[in-house]
Amino acid sequence: MRLVTLEPKGDVIFVGDTHGDLEASKRVISKYMKRDNKIVFLGDYVDRGEYSKENIDFLLELRKQNPKRIYLLLGNHDAYGILRCHPANFWESLGKDKQKYLAYSKNFLWQFLLVR
């Protein structure tokens, strides 16, 4: 188990399942990405919504640019390579392209587990 330690400065905003809703993720960022705030996304970034790939790409890039302010926890829909869930439309669409599937399941999703 990994423990996330946050500096006692600013507010901490917790965001639940965005499930491919890129606009919701962007609204949260525009509203709460203020000077000392930290934003913790609680997982389930893909499946169900129309923009799963764009949503997860946006959040991964945001975390890369703001590692001390953006935290991405792993949800069951994000861990499809480890734990199967349904619906899994995002993962099933990648299944046709093995390279993309492996890139998300092995390279990108492990970033969720490497909370600094």
Give the separation between CA 17 and CA 8, rounded to whole angstroms.
Answer: 25
Give the separation between CA 4 and CA 6, rounded to whole angstroms.
Answer: 6
CATH number for 102: 3.60.21.10
Quote the number of domains for the chain: 1
Residues that are catalytic? 77
Pairing verdict, β 38-41 and 70-72: parallel
41: containing domain: 12-113
This prediction has a pTM of 0.81
Any domain includes 25: yes
Residue pair 58/22 in contact (Cβ under 8 Å)? The answer is: yes
pLDDT of residue 92: 83
Q: What is the pLDDT along the chain (116 residues), one digit of tens a residue?
A: 566 777 778 899 999 999 999 999 999 999 999 888 999 998 888 888 889 889 989 998 999 899 889 998 877 777 766 777 788 888 888 777 778 877 777 656 655 555 44
Any domain includes 7: no
pLDDT of residue 43: 80
Q: What is the DSSP string of 31-93?
A: HH--TT-EEEE-S--SSSSTTHHHHHHHHHHHHHH-TTTEEEPPPTTT-TTTS--S--HHHHH
pLDDT of residue 33: 93
Any domain includes 86: yes
Any domain includes 108: yes
Any domain includes 1: no
